[in-house]
Amino acid sequence: MTSIAENLKSVGTLINQAALDAHRRPVDITLLAVSKTRTADELRELYLHGQKHFGENYLQESLDKMFALDDLAITWHFIGPIQSNKTRSIAENFDWVHSVDRLKVAQRLSEQRPQSLPSLNICLQINISGEESKSGCLPTEAEALLNQIDTLPNLNVRGLMAIPAATDDTLAQQAALAAMQAMYIKLQKQYPKFDTLSMGMSGDMQIAIREGATMVRIGTALFGPRHYTKTKNSN
């Protein structure tokens, strides 16, 4: 087996074990392979070993890969910061967007979603750690924003996404993930169709699953460390 295939297997085992430890069903957790900076061949290999969901951060890079992998039935997720002049291409090419954090972007995605495609699945990104430089709406803004976004015709609001502040402090990490779960459960009463809590990366996937994540976004644990200098990361 190749190392990517082995990694996929061991990440699958970790997810299953974390789910069972949390008295959850492993099938209720979706693995999103975060493939920024990875080559189309690496994605193809993972796909051939059963991985269907891929997450990308940089628009031009992802369009190149979509073109190269046109023969595969990949579900594409956009997870990077969104500039409003990039919404058309995102609306035309992706199945999911996890990083919606303001009304203007949601409106543009809805307007620009081609009628020939199903509604665009979206998550509202929450800046759960209140970091000034980070994307995501503030927790206090989420409900009002969702009320507006939910009226847009070509979007299917699936839930919430967060990238908690990187920290070695396990308690702080857990607190942020738990706060996300509490917010998700509260909003789910208003939006029973919510089925997605997108959180957990290579370093915190087990805690995230314990705190209710339904989709974990994993890059490094699948592909190894990223080498940014070798790739062009222009949007």
Ligand X SMILES: *Cc1c(COP(=O)(O)O)cnc(C)c1O
- Kindly list the residues in this chain that would bind ligand X in the complex (CB under 6 A): 34, 36, 57, 79, 163, 201-203, 217-221
210, 221, 165: which is closest to 23 by C-alpha?
210
Closer residue to ligand X, CB minimum distance, 139 or 219: 219
Closer residue to ligand X, CB minimum distance, 67 or 228: 228
Closer residue to ligand X, CB minimum distance, 26 or 203: 203
Closer residue to ligand X, CB minimum distance, 116 or 133: 133
Closest distance to ligand X from the beta carbon of 219 (Å): 3
Closer residue to ligand X, CB minimum distance, 39 or 202: 202
Closest distance to ligand X from the beta carbon of 201 (Å): 4
| Distances in whole angstroms, Cα of residue 149 to Cα of each of 45, 102, 143, 159 | 37, 9, 10, 12
Closest distance to ligand X from the beta carbon of 175 (Å): 19
DSSP assignments along 151-206, one per residue = T-TTEEEEEEEE-PPP-S-HHHHHHHHHHHHHHHHHHHHH-TT--EEE---TTTHH
Closest distance to ligand X from the beta carbon of 233 (Å): 11
Q: Which residue is nearest to ligand X (CB)?
A: 219
- Determine the Cα–Cα distance for residues 199 and 206; give it in Å rounded to an integer: 10
Q: Count CB-CB contacts under 10 A for residue 107.
A: 16
Closest distance to ligand X from the beta carbon of 88 (Å): 21
- Determine the Cα–Cα distance for residues 8 and 119; give it in Å rounded to an integer: 30
Closer residue to ligand X, CB minimum distance, 109 or 186: 109
Closer residue to ligand X, CB minimum distance, 57 or 62: 57
Reported for 59-64, long-range contacts at CB under 8 A and 24+ positions apart, including other chains, are 59/86, 59/89, 59/90, 59/235, 60/232, 60/234, 60/235, 61/36, 61/37, 61/231, 61/232, 61/233, 62/93, 62/94, 63/89, 63/93, 64/40
Closest distance to ligand X from the beta carbon of 111 (Å): 25
Closest distance to ligand X from the beta carbon of 52 (Å): 17
Phi, psi of 217 (to 5 degrees): -110, 105
